[in-house]
Amino acid sequence: MSIEARNIKRAFGDFIAVNDVSLEVASGELVALLGPSGSGKTTLLRIIAGLETADSGQILFHGEDATDSGVAERRVGFVFQHYALFRHMTVYENVAFGLRVKPRHLRPARDEIRDKVLALLKLVQLDWLADRYPHQLSGGQRQRIALARALAVEPKVLLLDEPFGALDAKVRKELRAWLRRLHDEIHITSLFVTHDQEEALEVADCVVVMNEGRVEQIGTPEEVYDRPATPFVYQFLGDVNLFHGRVYDGRARIGDWEVPVPEGLHVDNDKAVVYVRPHDLEILAASDDRDALKAVVTQFATIGPRVRIDLKRVDSGETIHAEINKDRFLELQIGAGDQVSVRPRRHRLFGAAAA
């Protein structure tokens, strides 16, 4: 069952939460809606679920217009950030809820409900907790129960709102790997909201990056990380160095370093900004200064097999962050105060207007 949102707009008073967003989730895909808080991702998810209404735009499930359908008709499974388990019901009753509230002629028999609930509890590996109450469970267990409860009504799509946001780092890592495995097992079209880049990149088939109510980029985790479409995506997905320069003769010049300018950005004397990730910077001996920037090491820190180096550009005094592996660092035999040459291995250039 595919999901499609067309030109969705939603404002709360003066604040535009979702601004003309369109996206498609193919059947069976696991897609992440990634963005900082206030970027409109949760509002969009709630509009898709029918918990919120859009000011304009359309929602389609499997090509059929569902814009005006009620929440129940859409048959979505929704997992809330704070679990929203029914606190006065046991785990078993929570999972059985969606089956028990069905109209009489659709409601499964008591035994069928029982078999189904126990099967779901097995699926989330918590069948031994059936008689417990939500407040007796850990956060990770509660979220798995919430997922089992959502799946009980056999939803056509699964929507998850920051499903791991309220958990501590270790449990979050375990659960997201588990979610990925679960998705590979049951292949339900899923859309989950997160502000955690690592989570989105690790779990999703496809990442939708949102900012200020708009979609910045849609692509596979590799695409959005390696080929960010906008400066925002570059900065939001990982650390980045910014180099400001100017365009002359179709090349942008940043100090002694020159890079070719892509199509559509070749006005002379235009400002340009080059984005380079710390691990895409090469550190070279000071003598090797061809097509490189000169910089002085200000400090460094060894983190396991990697070394993070802070440098200061000799020409402008700006700080550069680089990350290289430890072997290379030892080979260079450098320390604080030494001068080196810095050359980007990979970069991306944006016009100053875009940045």
Partner 1 sequence: MMWDDVGTAEALLEPPTGRPAVRRGAREEPALVRAALIAVALVFLLLFLFAPLASVFAGALRKGWEAYFAAIVEPDAWSAIKLTLLAAGIAVPLNLVFGVAAAWAIAKFEFRGKSLLITLIDLPFSVSPVISGLIYVLVFGLQGWFGHWLQAHDIKIIFAVPGIVLATIFVTFPFVARELIPLMQAQGTEEEEAAIVLGANGWQMFWRVTLPNIKWGLLYGVILCNARAMGEFGAVSVVSGHVRGATNTMSLHVEILYNEYNFAAAFAVASLLALLALVTLALKTLVEWLGREQIARSIA
Closest to partner 1 by CB, 78 or 232: 78
Closest to partner 1 by CB, 47 or 311: 47
The SS3 assignment for 144 reads helix
Q: What's the CA gap between 33 and 266, in Å, rounded?
A: 34
Q: What's the CA gap between 338 and 38, in Å, rounded?
A: 43
Closest to partner 1 by CB, 84 or 284: 84
Closest to partner 1 by CB, 150 or 254: 150
Q: How far is the CB of 312 from partner 1 (least distance, A)?
A: 50
Q: How far is the CB of 210 from partner 1 (least distance, A)?
A: 22
| Binding stretches for partner 1 (CB under 8 A) | 49, 51, 71-72, 76-78, 80, 82, 84-88, 97-98, 101-102, 133, 135, 146, 149-150, 152-153
- Structural contact between residues 340 and 332, judged by C-beta atoms closer than 8 angstroms: yes
Q: What's the CA gap between 274 and 266, in Å, rounded?
A: 14
Q: How far is the CB of 144 from partner 1 (least distance, A)?
A: 15
Whose CA is closest to 26, among 63, 56, 57?
Answer: 63
Beta strand 339-344 with 251-254 is unpaired
Closest to partner 1 by CB, 78 or 243: 78
Q: How far is the CB of 208 from partner 1 (least distance, A)?
A: 22
Q: How far is the CB of 65 from partner 1 (least distance, A)?
A: 20
- Structural contact between residues 50 and 74, judged by C-beta atoms closer than 8 angstroms: yes
Closest to partner 1 by CB, 35 or 77: 77
Q: How far is the CB of 80 from partner 1 (least distance, A)?
A: 5
Q: What's the CA gap between 100 and 96, in Å, rounded?
A: 6
Q: How far is the CB of 82 from partner 1 (least distance, A)?
A: 6
HSE, CB side, 13 Å, CA atoms: give it for residue 315: 13
309 token code pair? 């180096």
Strand ranges across the sheet with 293-303 = 281-285, 339-344, 293-303, 306-313, 319-325
- Residue 49: φ, ψ to 5°: -75, -20
Closest to partner 1 by CB, 72 or 177: 72
| 3-state helix/strand/coil string of 193-228 | EECCHHHHHHHCCEEEEEECCEEEEEECHHHHHHCC
Closest to partner 1 by CB, 16 or 153: 153
DSSP 262: P
Q: How far is the CB of 104 from partner 1 (least distance, A)?
A: 12
